[in-house]
């Protein structure tokens, strides 16, 4: 599915939710994104598995493995994407109504939890909440409760009257619940807006315990100009510090033509960090005092005070380890390397793009800048079938104690479950963990109780289990 044709090399932006091809000789990008989004669905359709259980495999049993490299470690605070996971009592109700009794073992399987979603791209849940919230690209958020998909969406921003510009790599792309959602009812979404496709970060409210949010409660926090329709990234997540992190792509086209990922006057190609509970000046959010450019004058030629880390191409999915606070970023590659970058969540990390793609020089192809650039902990070659890496999360649930500390991830085209453990800055045991075809994966993430799921773009939500 690399769609290579003579001089044309396909560039996969958001897990192939759109396909864009770049001429290696001219550098010009050609977009084949469709407003209907059917391209991705048709690509994914052959990988749909309809059974309730899809194979099993022992963690670490596969001989296949991506490389690992030492990551420069540094001391600092941690952040954990929504707070600590809630413990499910033995025999009690756990994720989406699934009964959970802790079970030993590392042999993996997946169990289908729900089907029938329309082009879903993400899943998550509020801290300590058993409901699973599934984000559909066209603008709806649906709830899985007690094992069933509720008929009324939690939030519906879709349709001609809605604010969402979709599809291709655009649409409703991210969802994060405030750490105090259970009492304040606040949550945040990331979408590309009509009519210009710019990134909008907005706040909404739902009465605590309600299965339907209040669409009129919308409060816009942050608007980011998007020069092209691709590389929008999309995920956002809270840390244990109570701050909201937003991963931004480099603005699109191919090869970061504006060098935005390394430009501190731009929010593109960065991890942003804001405080939704305060205000700084006229901004609808606060700037944390320990952000690298917190004291910036914030003019057109000044560094942006929202910036936390930089040097990213299209970190479509990222997460925090709820146990250690480490950050894990799945950064979709230009055309040669897909990568997972991981390490302590500290300020001013430069992940290297577009000087480097993975651990390799990109611009220029030799003699590129390497100083103060942090290489990924693992990378995968396009020649091995990797084209759109899907960053996942470290398991910190209670149902399967032997999986605690295991990081899970996938790729839209590989369609298999992979993983490793981050040990001393290195991806230890990076390997395929489950041989079963999972379809075109768009997210690997936990619910509010810490249990892990795999979502594919054809509409199937599966739970990772020890059979």
Contact 404, 387 (CB under 8 A): no
Tally Cβ neighbours within 10 Å of residue 309: 25
pLDDT-above-70 percentage for the chain: 79
Burial of 259 (0-12, 13-18, 19+ CB in 10 A): middle
> Which residue has 């769609």 as its token pair?
3
In a domain, 2, yes or no: no
Cα–Cα distance for residue pair 394/330, rounded to 1 Å: 13
Q: Classify residue 268: in a domain, yes or no.
A: yes
* pLDDT 10s digits, 92-147: 344 455 668 999 999 999 999 999 999 999 999 999 999 999 999 999 999 999 99
List pLDDT tens digits, range 338-347: 999 999 999 9
Q: Residue 383: inside a domain, yes or no?
A: yes
CA distance readout (Å), 431 to 6, 224, 379: 32, 37, 12
Q: How many residues does the chain have?
A: 467
**More confident call, 19 vs 151:** 151
Tokens of 118: 């329309």
- Overall average pLDDT of the 328-349 stretch: 97
Output the CA torsion sign for 160, 162, 165, 167.
negative
Distance of CA 393 to the CA centre of its chain: 9
Residue 303 belongs to domain with CATH number: 2.120.10.30
Mean pLDDT in residue range 272-285: 98
Separation of alpha carbons 84 and 343, rounded Å: 18
Q: Is the pLDDT of residue 154 over 50?
A: yes
- In sequence order, the β-bridge partners of residue 356 are 361
The rounded Cα 15 to chain-centroid distance in angstroms is 10
Distance CA 136, CA 53 (A): 23
Tell me whether residue 444 is in a domain: yes
How many angstroms separate the CA atoms of 115 and 459, rounded? 6
* CB 453 within 8 Å of CB 113: yes
Percent of the chain with pLDDT over 90: 78
What's the domain range around 393? 8-465
Predicted pLDDT at 187: 98
Cβ(57)–Cβ(433) below 8 Å: yes
Tell me how far apart the alpha carbons of residues 275 and 278 are, in angstroms, rounded to a whole number. Answer: 6
Nearest to 15 by CA among 409, 436, 467: 409
Q: Give pTM, 2 decimals.
A: 0.84
* CA atoms of 378 and 358, how far apart (whole Å): 8
Residue 6 has a CB neighbour count (10 Å cut-off) of: 6
266 within some domain: yes
In a domain, 1, yes or no: no
Which pLDDT does position 96 carry in this prediction?
54
CA atoms of 213 and 143, how far apart (whole Å)? 11
- Tell me the two tokens of residue 89: 């009592």
CA triple 127-130-131, angle to 5 deg: 100
Longest dimension (CA), the chain: 60
Query: Is 180 domain-assigned?
Result: yes
Inform me whether the pLDDT recorded for 59 exceeds 80: no
8 A C-beta contact, residue 449 and residue 130? yes
Sign of CA dihedral 115, 142, 274, 297: positive
The dihedral sign for the CA sequence 265, 268, 271, 272: positive
Burial class of residue 223 (count of CB atoms within 10 Å of its CB; 0-12, 13-18, 19+): middle
Calpha distance 106→286 (Å, rounded): 43
Q: What is the pLDDT of residues 376-396, one digit of tens each?
A: 999 999 999 999 999 999 999
Place of tokens 């399967």: 400
Poorest-pLDDT segment among 21-25, 160-164, 407-411: 21-25
Evaluate whether residue 25 is within a structural domain: yes
What pLDDT does residue 240 have?
Answer: 86
Q: What is the pLDDT of residue 94?
A: 47
What is the domain count for the chain?
1
pLDDT at 50 over 70: no
The SS3 call for residue 382 is helix
Mean pLDDT of 165-171: 96
On whether the CB atoms of residues 335 and 63 are closer than 8 A, the answer is no
């Amino acid at each position: 599915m690399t769609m290579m044709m003579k001089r044309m090399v396909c560039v996969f932006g958001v897990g192939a939710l759109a396909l864009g091809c770049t001429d290696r000789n001219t550098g010009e990008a050609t977009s084949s994104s469709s407003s209907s989004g059917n391209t991705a669905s048709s690509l994914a359709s052959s990988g749909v598995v309809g059974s309730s259980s899809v194979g099993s495999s022992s963690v670490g049993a596969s001989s296949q493995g991506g490389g690992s490299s030492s990551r420069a470690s540094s001391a600092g605070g941690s952040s954990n994407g929504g707070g600590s996971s809630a413990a499910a009592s033995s025999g009690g109700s756990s994720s989406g109504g699934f009964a959970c009794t802790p079970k030993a073992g590392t042999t993996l399987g997946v169990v289908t939890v729900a089907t029938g979603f329309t082009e879903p791209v993400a899943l998550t849940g509020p801290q300590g909440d058993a409901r699973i919230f599934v984000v559909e690209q066209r603008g709806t958020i649906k709830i899985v409760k007690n094992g069933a998909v509720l008929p009324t969406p939690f939030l519906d921003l879709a349709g001609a009257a809605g604010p969402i510009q979709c599809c291709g790599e655009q649409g409703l792309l991210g969802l994060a619940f405030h750490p105090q959602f259970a009492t304040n009812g606040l949550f945040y979404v990331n979408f590309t807006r009509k009519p210009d496709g710019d990134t909008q970060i907005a706040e909404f409210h739902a009465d605590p315990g309600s299965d339907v949010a209040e669409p009129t409660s919308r409060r816009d926090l942050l608007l980011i100009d998007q020069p092209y329709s691709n590389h929008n990234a999309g995920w956002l997540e809270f840390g244990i510090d109570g701050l909201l992190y937003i991963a931004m792509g480099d603005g699109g086209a191919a090869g970061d033509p504006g060098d935005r990922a390394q430009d501190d006057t731009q929010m593109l190609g960065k991890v942003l960090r804001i405080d939704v509970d305060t205000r700084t000046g006229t901004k609808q959010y606060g700037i944390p005092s320990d952000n690298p450019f917190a004291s910036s004058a914030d003019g057109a030629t000044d560094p942006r005070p929202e910036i936390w880390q930089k040097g990213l191409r299209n970190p479509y999915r990222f997460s925090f380890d709820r146990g250690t606070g480490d950050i894990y970023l799945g950064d979709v590659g230009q055309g040669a390397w897909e990568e997972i970058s991981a390490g302590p969540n500290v300020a001013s990390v430069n992940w290297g793009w577009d000087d480097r793609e993975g651990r390799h020089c990109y611009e220029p192809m030799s003699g590129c800048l390497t100083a103060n650039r942090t290489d990924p902990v693992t990378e995968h070659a396009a020649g091995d079938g990797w084209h759109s890496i899907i960053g996942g999360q470290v398991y910190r649930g209670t149902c399967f104690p032997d999986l605690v500390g295991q990081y899970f991830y996938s790729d839209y085209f590989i369609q298999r479950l992979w993983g490793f453990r981050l040990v001393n800055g290195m991806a230890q045991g990076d390997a395929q963990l489950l041989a079963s075809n999972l379809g075109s994966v768009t997210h690997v993430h936990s619910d509010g109780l810490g249990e892990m799921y795999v979502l594919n773009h054809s509409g199937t939500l599966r739970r990772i289990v020890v059979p």
